[in-house]
Amino acid sequence: MLDVRFVRENQDAVAEAMRNRHAEWDGELFARLDGERRSAIQREEALQAERNTLSKQVGTLMKEGKRDEAEAVKARVAALKDELAEAAAQRDAVDAQLRDLLLRTPNMPDASTPVGDSEDDNPEVRRWGTPTEFDFEPQAHWDLGPALGIIDFERGVKLASSRFVVLGGLGARLERALINFMADTHTARGYKEWWLPVMANTETMTGTGQLPKFEDDMFKTREDLYLIPTAEVQLTNLHAGETLSAEDLPKHYCAFTPCFREEAGSAGRDTRGLIRVHQFDKVEMVKLCEPENSFDELEAMTADAENILQQLGLPYRVISLCTGDIGFSAAKTYDVEVWLPSYNGYKEISSCSNCVDFQARRMGIRYKDPDSFKGTRYVHTLNGSGLAVGRTMAAIIENYQQPDGSIKVPDVLVPYMGGIEVIRPEGSVAGA
RNA sequence: GGAGGGGUGGCAGAGCGGUUGAAUGCGGCGGUCUCGAAAACCGUUUCACCGUUUAUAGCGGUGACCAGGGUUCGAAUCCCUGCCCCUCCGCCA
């Protein structure tokens, strides 16, 4: 959520930012609601002040035994009641409207976020490795996986619906190996690991920005709990409503959770394979830090995501999302894209964002530092995938495929696979 | 699921209809004393919003004692609903 005062004082800049984002923005509506809200508050508070002084008079008069005078004052206050109720209702109404407007308004892109219309305008920042070359015709993971007996798409559909998958045998084992490898790697680099609820309430979902605008993207239970679309929701909200101490910052957190996405509106996109499914695993990184450091922390977090791909030996590139493509809560985002032979291109496998104080203001995560400033300030929040496990598996299957259809296990995963070095078709698994 | 008890400031813990934003203790901060420290003593110690203002200083106002309603001239104090916690019983991976 943007700061009301910031919006009030920078209306042109906000309008321009929202244009660059292709986000709806009604500056006149904001100005009207903002003005109405403040005058409504003034009306209500003036009435409250009057009521309070008169009520105190009643108390004093009663003590002095002047009952008649007390009764007279009581009557005057009682007369204020309707007026006060009306003023309160007006304030409530306009306040709710303004709040809703702000809750649905995306973050201001940082100055370093390139201006652009769509994903076609995202500049490449760097590349690592070169696209894998084959001296045979490579297959897609959605063909290789079922052939190896490690991915079963039909049974996913049978058990749940389309866009759900089943992993069997070494597929399930590989999933677990990847999760452990990623979590171990991040914790070794200073991220504290958490285990979290995969459901979250409305307030939590509002804190990180999923609600109120993106309700349709999530699965919801009858109890008004939502299945989390990412562990970012829970990791970031861990400190919601808290005032931290500067010496406790930065916080570097990570967690493995399943993630659930409705994928409404993406019908027809990435319909094959593990790329876009309703349920997938992800190891997530989240940071809370002081504003001065947040952009350095973003670079470091992106490097931590890249580190996983480097250790797995998967070619990738990093792009900087432009204003037209950046997410709702983010001020700046780097996407890490892994080389995927079946797409003959790079595909997003991690998204690392600095949300500055946008989420912190929604959640109320502040900090104090008596040495450098008075009062409290909002922390900056960052999140990044480290990495999406299903897409990583797809990338491994495709990039490590052998001419015979088997999959070489990346060296760093072999210990996590119980020493298995190659995944062969069911029945001919080496060492099994 | 059944039966009770409870949610007050950083913590402990009073208040149970009227100058109570809240006693007292601990903790924190500043000071006196001291060569220095401890002890003792004095002072101070929540946050949000609105207005004023160059000001995130000061001043004025409003709200906040789990949350939301209600009663009342007036509510931390009374009533209702919800959430959470504790104890006992039952059930359970």
CATH code, A268: 3.30.930.10
Residue A209 gets the label, from left (phi > 0), alpha (psi -120 to 50) or beta, of left
Say what the pTM is.
0.94
- Rounded Cα gap, residues A213 and A226, in angstroms: 14
**Tens digits of per-residue pLDDT, A123-164?**
999 999 999 999 999 999 999 999 999 999 999 999 999 999
The residue behind tokens 């020493």 is: A419
β-pair type (A345-354, A366-368)? unpaired
Same domain, A76 and A132: no
**Tens digits of per-residue pLDDT, A21-67?**
999 999 999 999 999 999 999 999 999 999 999 998 888 888 888 88
- Rounded Cα gap, residues A295 and A381, in angstroms: 10
- Rounded Cα gap, residues A188 and A200, in angstroms: 28
Query: Considering the domain boundaries, does residue A110 fall inside one?
Result: no
Q: Which of A384, A386, A335 is nearest to A185 (CA)?
A: A386
Output the domain CATH number for residue A58.
1.10.287.40
The first and second tokens of residue A141, run together, are 């993971």
Q: Is the CB of A74 under 7 A from strand B?
A: yes
Nucleotides of chain B in contact with protein CB (under 7 A) are 18-19, 47-51, 56-57, 61-63, 73-74
Q: Specify the pLDDT at position A244.
A: 87
Same domain, A130 and A57: no
Q: Specify the pLDDT at position A245.
A: 85
- The whole-number Å distance from A360's CA to B15's C1' is 36
Name the residue closest to the C1' of B28 by its CA: A370
Q: Specify the pLDDT at position A282.
A: 98
Same domain, A281 and A390: yes
Q: Specify the pLDDT at position A429.
A: 46
User: What is the average per-residue pLDDT within A233-257?
Assistant: 92
SS3 A85: helix
Same domain, A34 and A141: no
**Tens digits of per-residue pLDDT, A362-392?**
998 988 887 777 778 899 999 999 999 999 9
**Count of helices and strands (H, E) across chain A:** 12, 17
Same domain, A209 and A76: no
Same domain, A84 and A125: no
Residue A241 has pLDDT above 90, yes or no: no
Residues of A assigned a catalytic role: 261, 276, 348, 351, 391
With cut-offs at 50, 70 and 90, classify the pLDDT of residue A427: low
- Rounded Cα gap, residues A50 and A64, in angstroms: 21
Q: How many CA atoms lie within 13 A of A302 on its CB side?
A: 25
- Rounded Cα gap, residues A3 and A102, in angstroms: 9
Same domain, A263 and A324: yes
Same domain, A86 and A138: no
Query: Considering the domain boundaries, does residue A113 fall inside one?
Result: no
Higher pLDDT among residues A376 and A343, named by residue: A343
Residues 354-393 of A with CB under 7 A from strand B: 366, 373-376
Query: Considering the domain boundaries, does residue A109 fall inside one?
Result: no
The structural domain count of chain A equals 2
Q: pLDDT over 70 for what percent of chain A? A: 98
Domain span at A308: 119-423
Same domain, A222 and A359: yes
Query: Considering the domain boundaries, does residue A78 fall inside one?
Result: yes
> What's the ipTM?
0.88
Residue A238 has pLDDT above 80, yes or no: yes
- Rounded Cα gap, residues A127 and A391, in angstroms: 18
Cα A241 from chain centroid (whole Å) = 17
H-type alpha helices, A210-291: 232-237
Q: Specify the pLDDT at position A222.
A: 81
